[in-house]
Amino acid sequence: MDSLFDAAAEEAHRGHEPLAVRMRPRGLDEVIGQRHLLGPGTPLRRLVEAEAPMSLFLWGPPGTGKTTLAYVVAGVTKRRFVEVSAVSAGVKDVRAAIEQARRDLGMSGRQTVLFVDEVHRFNKAQQDALLPAVENRWVTFIGATTENPFFSVISPLLSRSLLLTLESLSEDDIRVVLERAVADPRGLDGKVRLAPEAAEHLVRLAGGDARRSLTYLEAAALITGDEITVEVVERAVDRAAVRYDRQGDQHYDVISGFIKSMRGSDADAALHYLARMIEAGEDPRFIARRIVIFASEDVGMADPTCLQIAVAAAQAVEFIGLPEGRLNLAQAVIHCALAPKSNAVVNAIGAASEDVRRGNIGHVPNHLRDAHYGGAKTLGHGKGYKYPHDFEHGLVRQDYAPEELRDRRYYQPTRHGAEAGFADRWSKIRSFLRGQ
Question: Using one digit for the tens of pLDDT, what is the confidence trace for 243-259?
Answer: 545 554 566 788 889 99
Rounded-to-integer distance, Cα 256 and Cα 4, Å: 63
> What's the sign of the alpha-carbon dihedral 197, 201, 202, 204?
positive
Identify the CATH number of the domain defined by range 171-245: 1.10.8.60
Q: What is the mean pLDDT of the chain?
A: 84
The DSSP annotation for 307-362 comes to HHHHHHHHHHHHHH-TTTHHHHHHHHHHHHHHS----HHHHHHHHHHHHHHTT---
Given pLDDT bands bounded at 50, 70 and 90, which one contains residue 92? confident
Q: Report, in this order, helix, strand and coil percent for the chain, each rounded to 5.
A: 55, 5, 35
Domain 249-341 fold is: Zinc Finger, Delta Prime; domain 3 (1.20.272)
pLDDT at 72 over 80: yes
Beta-carbon contacts of residue 53 (< 8 Å; ≥ 6 apart) = 111, 137, 139, 140
Domains 171-245 and 352-434 share a fold: no
Instruction: Enumerate the domain spans of the chain.
Output: 34-165, 171-245, 249-341, 352-434
The DSSP annotation for 207-247 comes to TT-HHHHHHHHHHHHHT-SSEE-HHHHHHHHT-PPP---TT
So what's the pLDDT on residue 307? 96
Rounded-to-integer distance, Cα 194 and Cα 146, Å: 31
What's the distance, CA 376 to chain centroid?
A: 48
pLDDT at 53 over 60: yes
- pLDDT tens per residue across span 209-218: 888 889 889 9
C-alpha closest to that of 298 among 286, 310, 287: 310
What are the two backbone dihedrals, phi and then psi, of residue 245, each rounded to the nearest 5 degrees? -110, 115
Matching CATH number, 34-165, of 3.40.50.300, 3.90.550.10, 1.10.10.1100, 3.40.190.10: 3.40.50.300
Strand partners for 58: 144, 164
So what's the pLDDT on residue 146? 85
Q: Is it true that domain 352-434 has CATH number 1.10.3710.10?
A: yes
Query: In the predicted model, what is the mean pLDDT of residues 143-172?
Result: 88
3-state secondary structure of 255: helix
